[in-house]
Amino acid sequence: MIKVGSRDSRLAVVQAEEVCRALGDCELITMKTLGDMILDKTLDQVGGKGLFVKELDRALADRRVDLTVHSLKDVPMEQPEGLPLVAYTKREDARDALVLPQSGEWDKSKPIGCSSARRRVQLAALFPEIEVKPVRGNVLTRLDKLDRGEYGALVLAAAGLHRLGLENRITRYFSPDEIIPAAGQAILAVQGREGELADEVKQLDDADAHDCALAERSFVRTLGGGCFAPVAAYAETEGDYIHLRGLYVTEDESRSARGAVTGPRSEAASLGRTLALQLQKQAEGTL
């Protein structure tokens, strides 16, 4: 029986169960991560998205679990030695979504809540008259804060709402031209130990998601990966080609650049690097 590790949030469990159904004979083992426990600070204040995976990495290294399942957008750009990402599942809807209180009324005197600098800078351009504030916690915690009146609206990943059966809470979707999604958004990443369970995980890997993940993560990695300057990358495949959109914002958020590139999907990682360097030069005025 394959032991699959996951965070213990409802969304993480739903995602891990999706992988378990595809694998067959599995035991799901859940654990709370540091990122789930520290909710009074933004991620850049407490060490970044790696806080969501460290406990799972330890369980994998200690052989307490055989595979772990993550939202790819939460996975750091570099993995611990011997613990590679071994599969990328078929992508759900990658768009961001606007969620209003259950009343359906948007009180624009209250802030829009979101969880990332990437969303914040793009929302500020779309809604310059509305304050944007951080919101932490899992999806259900954030919805509770919204319904209690702490926020006028939230922006959440559509994929998470779909997986939780909460698509009825979505008021509107933002197109990738309005808000470029996070690298890896709506893709599940399966992590394992080097050289183990290769045949079992092969069936989980979706070719389109795999190539999009390579392009998007290469874009972010080229721009520093672990830094907290807002970046976004979203790729789509068509036949043998891949189209990649990107956003780069300087660390002081005074300048930004958006752009896109299309090329052979066999060169996905190279296209990510090329677009990243191009937008960095544009934003910093060196192009």
199 among known catalytic residues: no
How confident is the model at residue 46, as a pLDDT? Answer: 44
Choosing from 120, 142, 163, 169, the catalytic residue is 142
Choosing from 73, 163, 169, 217, the catalytic residue is 73
How far apart CA 7 and CA 68 sit, in angstroms, is 9
Entry pTM:
0.91
73 among known catalytic residues: yes
Q: Which strand (E) or helix (H) includes residue 216?
A: helix 207-222
74 among known catalytic residues: yes
Choosing from 36, 66, 74, 96, the catalytic residue is 74
Could you identify the residue written with the tokens 């914002």? 249
118 among known catalytic residues: yes
How confident is the model at residue 285, as a pLDDT? Answer: 80
Average pLDDT for 69-88 = 94
pLDDT tens figures, 89-139:
999 999 999 999 999 999 999 999 998 999 999 999 999 999 999 998 889
How confident is the model at residue 45, as a pLDDT? Answer: 43
Q: Amino acid identity of 221?
A: R
Strand order in the sheet with 112-114: 132-134, 112-114, 153-157, 96-99, 170-174
- Residue percentage of the chain with pLDDT more than 90: 82
Average pLDDT for 162-187 = 97
Average pLDDT for 5-10 = 93
* Residue 47 or residue 85, greater confidence: 85
Residue from 222, 272, 266, 229 nearest 121 by CA: 229
Choosing from 7, 49, 91, 118, the catalytic residue is 118
Spatial contact of 93 and 185, defined as CB atoms under 8 Å apart = no
pLDDT tens figures, 189-204:
999 999 999 999 999 9
- What is the chain's mean pLDDT, rounded? 92
pLDDT tens figures, 223-266:
986 556 789 999 999 999 999 999 999 988 889 999 999 999 99
217 among known catalytic residues: no
